[in-house]
Chains A and B, each alone.
Chain A
Amino acid sequence: MEWKDVVPVLAGGLVILIVALVVKPVFLGEPIGFLSPGPAPVLTLPVYVPPTPAPVVPPFPEGGAAYTRNFRWTAIDGGVQTTQVRVPEALFLAHRATPQVADPLAWGRYAIADADRPILEDLARRVAPPAGNPEEDYFRLMDLIFFVQQIPYELDSSTDSYIEGAIPRYAVRQGEEAGYSKSPVEMLVDGRGDCEDAAILMAGLLDALGYDTVLLRYPEHMALGIRMNEFNPYYAKYPPKYFTYEGKHYYYVEGTDYTTISTGNSTFWGKPFAIGDAEGTGIPGVKSGTPEIIPLRYIPTPNEYRIRPARLPAGGA
């Protein structure tokens, strides 16, 4: 064989190689030469993994050590009422040993705490027994409000506010001041508390009776908001104050009783505040301000969650 016979064969092979290794990859955007795009990554199709259920918390034992507290208050009909509350010591101590919830938006958790619920349901039924007549619902509601308003007021910074005679270890301290939000049963055992403690207790009791309530948080105060469609009683000497939240009206309810009545040498925690009365507190921010509304059950949910179907390319699957 002569060289002139071999040259065309070699040239043909070279052309094929150039087309395969250079021209085709350039057209198709593939790597030039012998470089391989590499093995495709092995991916596993994701599947939905349901959440693991939370461990069941055993209820606090009924028969163990307990705090017993007696309450005496003036009901809406002017009659003096009394009742007794029993709180398991273990429940009270568990609350005291729980760190405070720092975000006020989460304070509704205190009011509807599952462990406190049986005690609040029982107390609410005794303070405001179920009425045979639906028209008496208003009086039940007011009895419950008056009950809480007449629990003595005490600042968080005062050691008198706690049965231990000391500020709880999880209180939030700012210099001389201390802040401590009590759960409803802590308020009942201590027998006193400040505005947010009263609002939380009142919210827990009213929620136990089925009322829709929120907490109203001002810079220097906290009160309760109760949902009512319309509340404008003929006897009110004030325009009842309400706030709109998610399209519903929540009327202002004071949880503490700042008004004192002096008789001779004695001073009594006296006149209760009616629903919608924000004037009587004497706190300027409450008279004219707009509170932050804290729902008892707060579930953050997105507004946008709908998948928008995409059109498939013609000729696609």
Chain B
Amino acid sequence: MDLKVPKLSKPKLPKVAISRKQALTAAGTAIFVVLIALVGGMLLLDYTGDRQVATFGSHVAASEADLSLVSGKASSLMRSSSDDLSVAECDAYMREFAAVADYGTRVTVYHRQIVGADRVPEAYAGAQSAYIGALDNLNRAFSLWSSAAAAYDAKAYTTAKENLARADEAWREYTAAIEDYDRELRSAEEGGWIPPA
């Protein structure tokens, strides 16, 4: 069979005739648009970062406010006299202690979830992480308080004592984490310089 290839003509592109003036105008406009986009983008990022820090700050403030309520309950209980109590009064004291421990555990879990979900600028990531660490340590301390109260209820006083010793340790780690948080926050606010611990 004899096949014939048909002759195809070259596709013709439309001729664009641009003058030098038009080309310069187009380039200038493009550069202007890019600059506007860059400045706009930076302003947007700056605004978003400020908003994120403000949100993080409001969540830390709410957490601190709730923790101060827990602290008030704990301090009030610790200040109450435990001298000359009857067995029933000692048990009631420990039930109150268990209730404060439970409250502290739930408050720290709640605020850990909220602060942990915050998006913060990179400079504030260290402060956020340290604050979450502080809440985690505090949560562990309150959980150990609960364990101590349960051990007391089972008349296992030695176990209760051991749990409280571990809770004290977790509490000291909480204090250290808050110091880290303060340092990281200062660093973020002062532009990245971290003073020695």
Q: Mark A296-317, 1 if CB is under 8 A from B, else 0.
A: 0111111111111111111111
Q: Residues of B contacting A4 with CB < 8 Å?
A: 14
A94: CB under 8 A from chain B?
no
Tell me how far the C-beta of A118 lies from the nearest C-beta in chain B, rounded to whole angstroms: 12
A45: CB under 8 A from chain B?
yes
Interface residue ranges of A273-306 to B (CB < 8 Å)? 297-306
Q: Mark B148-161, 1 if CB is under 8 A from A, else 0.
A: 10001001111111
State whether A109 touches B172 (Cβ < 8 A). no
State whether A317 touches B61 (Cβ < 8 A). yes
Q: Residues of B contacting A49 with CB < 8 Å?
A: 99, 102-103
State whether A307 touches B60 (Cβ < 8 A). no
State whether A303 touches B168 (Cβ < 8 A). yes
Tell me how far the C-beta of B22 lies from the nearest C-beta in chain A, rounded to whole angstroms: 16
A201: CB under 8 A from chain B?
no
Which of B54, B70, B145 is A307 in contact with, Cβ under 8 Å?
B70
Q: Residues of A contacting B56 with CB < 8 Å?
A: 313, 316
State whether A302 touches B168 (Cβ < 8 A). yes
B48: CB under 8 A from chain A?
yes
State whether A299 touches B82 (Cβ < 8 A). yes
Tell me how far the C-beta of B5 lies from the nearest C-beta in chain A, rounded to whole angstroms: 28
Q: Residues of A contacting B99 with CB < 8 Å?
A: 48-51
Which of B53, B91, B155 is A315 in contact with, Cβ under 8 Å?
B53
State whether B69 touches A304 (Cβ < 8 A). no
State whether B85 touches A305 (Cβ < 8 A). no
Which of B54, B88, B174 is A317 in contact with, Cβ under 8 Å?
B54
Of the stretches A98-106, A146-154, A236-244, A258-266, the one at the interface is: A98-106
Q: Residues of B contacting A112 with CB < 8 Å?
A: 86-87
A117: CB under 8 A from chain B?
yes
Assuming the A-B contacts A297-B90, A313-B53, A316-B56, are A40 and B155 also in contact, with contact meaning beta carbons closer than 8 angstroms in the complex?
no
CB nearest to B69 among chain A residues: A48
Q: Residues of A contacting B84 with CB < 8 Å?
A: 297
Interface residue ranges of A210-269 to B (CB < 8 Å)? none
Tell me how far the C-beta of A2 lies from the nearest C-beta in chain B, rounded to whole angstroms: 9
Q: Residues of B contacting A315 with CB < 8 Å?
A: 50, 53-54, 57
Q: Is the interface of B mostly helix, strand, loop or mixed?
A: helix
Tell me how far the C-beta of B26 lies from the nearest C-beta in chain A, rounded to whole angstroms: 12
B92: CB under 8 A from chain A?
yes
Tell me how far the C-beta of B173 lies from the nearest C-beta in chain A, rounded to whole angstroms: 10
State whether B87 touches A113 (Cβ < 8 A). yes
A54: CB under 8 A from chain B?
yes
A137: CB under 8 A from chain B?
no
Assuming the A-B contacts A43-B110, A309-B64, are A106 and B157 also in contact, with contact meaning beta carbons closer than 8 angstroms in the complex?
yes
Assuming the A-B contacts A43-B114, A45-B110, are A310 and B103 also in contact, with contact meaning beta carbons closer than 8 angstroms in the complex?
no
A6: CB under 8 A from chain B?
no
Q: Residues of B contacting A54 with CB < 8 Å?
A: 88, 91-92, 95
Assuming the A-B contacts A117-B86, A302-B167, A308-B175, are A313 and B57 also in contact, with contact meaning beta carbons closer than 8 angstroms in the complex?
yes
- How distant is the Cα of A113 from the Cα of B87 in the complex, in angstroms? 6
A59: CB under 8 A from chain B?
no
Tell me how far the C-beta of B182 lies from the nearest C-beta in chain A, rounded to whole angstroms: 5
- How distant is the Cα of A93 from the Cα of B58 in the complex, in angstroms? 61
State whether A310 touches B160 (Cβ < 8 A). no
Assuming the A-B contacts A310-B178, A311-B185, are A305 and B78 also in contact, with contact meaning beta carbons closer than 8 angstroms in the complex?
yes
Q: Interface residues, chain A, CB within 8 Å of chain B?
A: 4, 27-30, 40-41, 43-54, 101-103, 105-106, 109, 112-114, 117, 297-317
Nearest 7 CB-CB pairs, A to B? A316-B57, A304-B171, A317-B58, A46-B106, A307-B71, A51-B95, A105-B157
Q: Interface residues, chain B, CB within 8 Å of chain A?
A: 14, 41, 45, 48, 50, 53-54, 56-58, 60-62, 64, 66-71, 73-75, 78, 82-88, 90-100, 102-103, 106-107, 109-110, 113-114, 117, 119, 124, 127, 131, 134, 138, 141, 145, 148, 152, 155-161, 163-164, 167-168, 171-172, 174-175, 178, 181-182, 185, 188-189
